[in-house]
Homo-oligomer: A and B are copies of this chain.
Amino acid sequence: MRKKVKLSLIENATTRRKTFLKRKEGLLKKVDELATLCDVKACAVVYSPYQSTPEVWPSREGVEEVVSNFMECSVRERTKNMVDQETFVRQSIAKENEHLNKLREENRNSQIKEFMFGCLEGKMEAHHLDGRDKRDLKSFVDKYLNVITHKIEILTKNGESSSSLPPLIADAAAPINLNQNPNVEEHEDILSMENNHQEPVTARLAALTIADADVSAPNNTKKL
């Protein structure tokens, strides 16, 4: 499997040169596209140990024009929209961290959902929940129940006001029969629940609501 390259100096000289040539190509293409699509003046200068003279885009004159315009600004002006490399990298890192946190969030949510549905199939014993897990699970179950309750209300009202649509949903007190499809791999997202699991699940969910999901000392250990 192709590995995701680490963003740091490529040690192997052959590889480094190859990468350089490929990426320089790509870069010049990007500059060209940017200029063409958006009608802006731009230039790039790349100064490598592989060629005695720097390579530039779009042409010597083009570079000189852009650069002289740049040089004409006062230093104050020049500095205004400037991104120095350190700031740039810091910003990139910040962005990546944000993204990472989002992924962690998603991941945790999936685990909780997985666990919740696992419980409904009676596989509760395998996990040890700490305080945070319990709190999050409770809030997840609550959210789920709210959605279901809301749906039931809507549909009940519809069923009463207009008998033309047959009630789509079983009464919440109806007997529960979950295991008809015992190996469900994907559980639908709670916010986009269509019409699969939610009806007969209700009562069980309510029963499942964790009794002591309260206030143990906050504990950030991630295991769930």
Contact = CB atoms under 8 A, between A and B. Distances in A.
Interface stretch (A5-13, A124-132, A134-142, A206-214): A5-13
Q: Which label, helix, strand, loop or mixed, suits the secondary structure of the A interface? A: helix
Given A27-B34, A58-B85, 4 more contacts: A35-B85, A40-B49, A51-B81, A58-B88
Interface stretch (A18-26, A157-165, A167-175, A183-191): A18-26
The complex is assembled from copies of this chain, and their number is: 2
Contact of A55 (B9, B81, B89): B81
Interface residues of A, number: 67
A57 B81 contact: no
16 contacts: A8-B36, A17-B38, A23-B33, A23-B34, A27-B31, A30-B30, A40-B46, A40-B47, A41-B46, A42-B45, A51-B81, A52-B77, A52-B80, A53-B78, A56-B81, A56-B82
